[in-house]
Amino acid sequence: MVRSRAALAAGALALATAAILIPVYAHEGHGKPTGATFDPNAPKKVTEATTFAIGLKTAEVDFGNVEDVVRLTGMVRAQPGALAGVSTTYAGVVRSIAVQPGDRVRKGDLIAEVESPELARALFEVRRLESEAERLTAEQKRATSQVASLEIEVPASEQSAALAEVEVDRLVSAGESVSANLLAQRRGEAIRLRTDASLRKVSLAQARTDADSLRRQIEATLASVEALRATLPAGAGTDAAGAIRLLAPLDGVVVSRTAVIGEGVVAGSPIVSIGDFSRVQIEGELPEGLLARVEAAPNAKVRVRRGVAAASEVVAEGVVRFLSPVIDASKRTAHVIIDVENPQGLLRQGQFVDLSVVLSSNDSAVVVPASAVVKEGPMQYVFVREGKGENEVFKKRDVAVGVRDDRVIEIVKGLVPGDVVAVSGAFSLSQLRGFVPGAPEPVAEPAKSGDGHGHSH
């Protein structure tokens, strides 16, 4: 019974408590502040902490430059001839490599040394052919001298034979007054001289043939020497043992090193790859519908960003060098190539980049940074700073926009030069709750009796 009475007493206390609390909860909401508002269009009053948190920055509206641009994406490529593999034209064994990936090299710097028995044999053959060319040159000089001598002797011998024949004709004309022995002697002499002249002519022809043959042999031998020398790596030095010193063919940076010291390499296999990326080209695809606009702006300037957002930093500028005359049948695009200076190496081979191709420019437009304009459905607005000190607020103002590029937007209505707008953190600012300046502090309403809601005290 004692326990039952205690339980009944506890239940009664709980009911009494609930009866007291129910009117309190029933009146919750009557103490809300009367001056506060959460209207999204209300002015925004921002504390220093909030300014830092949302990265709020402002700028004064002014006249500026706005450009008509075409936005594309592209891929960074090395310029033709700016990538080179350092290799040997003869198989051999790598004895040393002087560079590592990332090293900067100058044209002519030592890259590697390769020992090649094949090259040693080729060098021996070069020297043999050079000696053969020297021997043939000496023979040609002798043949040339013989030709020159015979060219003098042949006319003289023909003249002597002709004189002897004239003498025989004179003796024959003299008739019986000339001794038969004398006539026979003169005829024999004329025949001998004519034969000698004929032999000398044959010798001259043979000497000329021999000299011409020697000349052709010398040319062929020297051509073989040059052909063998041409198989040596460009800019390489060699010695009799067949050691090849491979030199850098261009200024640049070592991109890769594929060989190992002591490893055998075949002819044409790269030991080191070098690239010069101080100037690159970016390749992209231009939609067919934009061709006419870009064609109307030859050598158009191009801004390059590594990110695809318009707010990302411009890392380089270039010009349109080539617009393909061929349209891709499936993609309906034309290939475009842009030359870009890249002295700091910020653009890398194979990297995707954002391109802004500038087609025209207007220097007298009212402009704000693209980050200042907030778009909400069909409406676009900015936040304008008004007031000073404790009364400083940001008010939402609808604007009409014109041309926009990758940096700024033209404002055709809603702002004038001198207005100060939020250019960073504008979207975050739009998410803050507004508060009407000067509104009274929240005060609880007094309770009233007899209205069915309150209680008199």
**Edge to edge, what strands does the sheet with 272-275 contain?**
83-86, 272-275, 252-257, 104-105
The average pLDDT across 196-218 equals: 91
- Residue by residue, DSSP assigns 362-407 as EEEEEEEEGGG-EEETTEEEEEEEES-GGG-EEEEEE-EEEEE-SS
pLDDT of the residue at 306: 87
The mean pLDDT of 206-217, rounded to a whole number, is 92
Contact 303, 314 (CB under 8 A): yes
Higher per-residue confidence, 275 vs 392: 275
- The pLDDT > 90 percentage for the chain reads 40
Residue 445 binned pLDDT confidence (cut-offs 50, 70, 90): very low
Q: Average the pLDDT over 52-73 and give the result.
A: 87
pLDDT of residue 431: 85
Please state the φ and ψ torsions of residue 281, each to the nearest 5 degrees: -125, 145
pLDDT at 448 over 90: no
Q: How far is 228 from 232, CA to CA, in rounded Å?
A: 8
- pLDDT recorded at residue 174: 79
Instruction: Quote the pLDDT of residue 240.
Output: 53
64 bridge partner residues: 365
Q: For position 43, what pLDDT does the model report?
A: 87
pLDDT score for 144: 92
What's the pLDDT band for 233 if we cut at 50, 70, 90? low
Q: What pLDDT is stored for residue 349 in this prediction?
A: 92
Residue 183: which H helix or E strand, with range? helix 180-230
Q: What is the 3 state secondary structure string of 143-172?
A: HHHHHHHHHHHHHHHHHHHHHHHHHHHHHH
Instruction: Sketch out the chain's domains with CATH numbers.
Output: 69-79+276-358 (2.40.30.170), 87-116+242-272 (2.40.50.100), 119-230 (1.10.287.620)
pLDDT of residue 32: 44
Rg of the chain (C-alpha set): 51
Q: How does residue 434 score in pLDDT terms, banded at 50, 70 and 90?
A: low
For residue 298, what pLDDT is reported? 87
Mean pLDDT of 193-201: 90
Select, from the ranges 167-181, 205-219, 235-249, the one with the highest average predicted confidence (pLDDT). 205-219
What confidence tier does 212 reach under pLDDT thresholds 50, 70, 90? Answer: very high
Look up residue 76 and give its amino acid.
V
Banded pLDDT at 209 (limits 50, 70, 90) = very high
Phi/psi at 176 (nearest 5 deg)?
Answer: -75, -10
What proportion of the chain, given as a percentage, has pLDDT over 70? 82
Q: Any idea which of 124-133, 336-345, 430-439 has the lowest mean pLDDT?
A: 430-439
pLDDT over 70 at 116, yes or no? yes
pLDDT at 36 over 50: no
Query: Does 163 score more than 70 pLDDT?
Result: yes
